[in-house]
């Protein structure tokens, strides 16, 4: 992509964190699925076998949480819901059809992306807390059996919901052309930014103009 005709959308540190989360989440999700379905037990081999998978699964979960917290600190200010987001929801049908509504003054992230952001942060927090309750041999001995059973149920439910969210996120990333560039090169074209995130486009180009003068 010609950087003269593009804008930096995702800094390098955020991109690296994102892809490390992707890698770790894939391994954690596969090992989790292997314990739900006996026919998928072979997925444990991705982490070196059943025993090693049970050891690494919670540690990788903590790594995911740490990287997501870093991304949260960098991106939270762009994901605060605003009154303007109501228009996005009001035009959701057109948005899903790929029709661009001119009156939508979308900032760096649209309302759907903001909801995904907060849902992922909420679920990873639930997964961390419930994971600590059931984490043997380190923390589980400090909790009662009934609480551990509740923790197992909550952890499994949150894990399934997280996987569904991630699948939806991947689908939309491919559906909206140009989104993959944002997380691979970090740059998007000016046309893409102006079309999908007009308010952010004006803000970023205005800042550029001020620096040049």
Residue 26 has what DSSP assignment?
A: H
Give pLDDT, residue 2.
Answer: 57
Give pLDDT, residue 105.
Answer: 87
Angle value at C-alpha 210, between 204 and 213, nearest 5 degrees: 145
| Catalytic residue set | 169
The pLDDT averaged over each successive group of 10 residues in the chain (213 residues) is: 78 97 97 92 93 96 98 97 90 76 85 95 98 96 98 97 94 82 92 90 79 50
Minimal CA–CA distance to 117: which of 6, 21, 192, 198?
21
Give pLDDT, residue 213.
Answer: 44
Q: Tell me if residue 1 falls in helix, strand or coil.
A: coil
Residue spans per domain, the chain? 11-78+102-212
> What is the CATH code for 11-78+102-212?
1.20.950.20
């Amino acid at each position: 992509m010609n950087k003269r005709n593009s804008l930096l959308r995702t800094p390098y540190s955020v991109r690296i964190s994102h892809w490390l989360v992707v890698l770790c989440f894939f391994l954690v999700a596969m090992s989790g699925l292997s314990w739900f379905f006996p026919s998928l037990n072979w997925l444990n081999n991705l982490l070196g076998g059943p025993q090693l998978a049970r050891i690494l699964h919670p540690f990788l979960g903590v790594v995911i949480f740490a990287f997501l917290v870093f991304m949260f600190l960098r991106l939270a200010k762009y994901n605060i819901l605003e009154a303007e987001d109501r228009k996005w929801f009001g035009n959701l049908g057109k948005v899903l059809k790929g029709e661009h509504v001119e009156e939508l003054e979308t900032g760096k992230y649209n309302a759907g992306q903001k909801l995904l952001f907060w849902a992922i942060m909420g679920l990873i927090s639930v997964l961390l807390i419930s994971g600590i309750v059931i984490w043997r041999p380190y923390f589980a001995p400090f909790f009662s059996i009934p609480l551990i059973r509740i923790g197992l149920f909550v952890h499994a439910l949150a894990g399934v919901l997280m996987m569904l969210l991630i699948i939806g996120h991947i689908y939309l990333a491919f559906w909206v052309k140009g989104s993959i560039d944002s997380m691979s090169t970090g740059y998007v074209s000016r046309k893409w930014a102006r079309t999908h995130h007009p308010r952010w486009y004006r803000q970023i180009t205005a800042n550029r103009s001020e620096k040049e003068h």
